[in-house]
Each structure stands twice: as C-alpha cells, then as structure tokens.
Amino acid sequence: MTNISIEDAQLLEYLLDHVSHGSEYFRAKYIADVLGLSAKQVGARLARLSVKADGVQIEKWGRGKSTTWKVTMSD
C-alpha cells in the first residue's frame, strides 16, 4: 500500500472491520457520521483509497442523495 494519511487509514480500517468476506455496500453519509467527517470528505477519501489501497477494491456504485460505494475484499 502506498503511504496514506491517518484519516485515510482510519477509513480503511472501518471498511475492513465491516467487510470480512465478499462485498458490502456503504453510503458515504453513514460512514461520515461514524468517523466525524462530512460525506464529501468521505467520498474524496474513498476515491483516493480506490487507487491506493491493496487488498480491497473500492468502487463508486451508485448515486442518489448520497453516493453508494461497493467495497470488496481481494483474495
């Protein structure tokens, strides 16, 4: 994994704690509530992590009132 910020690492840890096998879907606004960030901050970090993080695949899945992200554990 490329060097990531402390906030990005906290977000990645949250995702890894909630996706043990397979895939899960997350809304940025709900992650934001847990981590004390704005939904926009979470979205920007997820987009960054989708490129930098190893062992997990992060995809922008859908968009409504808040973006949905699909997180899949890599084998």
Asked if residue 12 belongs to a domain, the reply is yes
Q: Which tens digit of pLDDT belongs to each residue from 22-50? A: 899 999 999 999 999 999 999 999 999 99
User: Model pTM?
Assistant: 0.84
Q: How far apart are CA 16 and CA 58, in angstroms?
A: 11
**Domain membership flag for residue 14:** yes
Residue 1 counted as domain residue? no
pLDDT digits (tens, 9 = 90+) for 51-63: 988 889 999 987 6
CA distances from 15 to 40, 68 (A): 17, 13
Q: What is the CATH classification number for the domain harbouring 48?
A: 1.10.10.10
For residue 65, the enclosing domain spans 6-73
Average pLDDT on 5-33 reads 89
Query: Rounded to an integer, what distance in angstroms lies between the CA atom of residue 41 and that of residue 23?
Result: 22
- How long is the chain? 75
CA distance 75 to 67: 25
Residue 68 domain flag:
yes
